[in-house]
A and B are shown apart, each in its own frame.
Chain A
Amino acid sequence: NAGVTQTPKFRVLKTGQSMTLLCAQDMNHEYMYWYRQDPGMGLRLIHYSVGEGTTAKGEVPDGYNVSRLKKQNFLLGLESAAPSQTSVYFCASSTQGKGLHPWVNEQFFGPGTRLTVL
């Protein structure tokens, strides 16, 4: 199993350009997440999905859109990139847990995409 993969690994954009980051998982996980990681701030949730065709906003959703047309893929789009979106982006997936809160479980992370917006 490849686990969680992300493409591209690196990207440089100019302000105003658009791009799409692709996340794919082969573990048949129900839940998928997009995070950004900035120095001194840990990981912050951008958007997440609890199943094919569904998405929801996380902590920092502004400037991003997502789509989950297939269960194994979760796309993150930047329509008009800004320098404030320079960051490392991580995708993660998880399956249902067995505890009191079945939607809470270990997340499996991709390798990250380093995005620079000039």
Chain B
Amino acid sequence: AQSVSQHNHHVILSEAASLELGCNYSYGGTVNLFWYVQYPGQHLQLLLKYFSGDPLVKGIKGFEAEFIKSKFSFNLRKPSVQWSDTAEYFCAVNTGGFKTIFGAGTRLFVKA
């Protein structure tokens, strides 16, 4: 069965630190990849997505993610985090049907 793994369940960083959240999926075919974020008290919203083309995708608020097909990975990065990035981050994978598989989420806490 297809699955999505987010390796870190909780991450604590200080402001200005660099961020990398891991995401791996298990599927050998064409994939559509997403990162969603849920800020405290708010809806889930899209950070960025990859469907095709340049494997380095830039999203909102300075986030980017790189699709590495050979590693089945879609890691999320940000060079310098801010306190306002405190949120829960979800990686999601769609393999072509109507069902998108979500990872368990990573809670990020940024210390001011």
Which residues of A pack against B, CB within 8 Å? Answer: 3-4, 31, 35, 40-45, 48, 50, 56, 58-59, 90, 92, 97, 99-101, 103-104, 106-112
B51–A100 CB distance below 8 A:
yes
Residues of B within 8 A of A99 (CB): 32, 51-52
Cβ–Cβ contact B46 & A45, under 8 A:
no
> Chain B interface (Cβ within 8 Å of chain A)?
4, 6, 9, 30, 32, 34, 36, 42-46, 49, 51-52, 90, 92, 94, 96-100, 102-105
The distance in angstroms between the C-alpha atoms of A34 and B106, with both chains bound, is 21
With contacts A59-B99, A103-B98 taken as known, whether A42 is within 8 angstroms of B105 at the C-beta atoms is: yes
A92, B6: Cα distance in complex, Å = 22
Determine how close the nearest CB of chain B comes to the CB of A17; give it in whole angstroms. Answer: 27
A40-B9, A42-B90, A90-B44 known; A56-B104 Cβ under 8 A: no
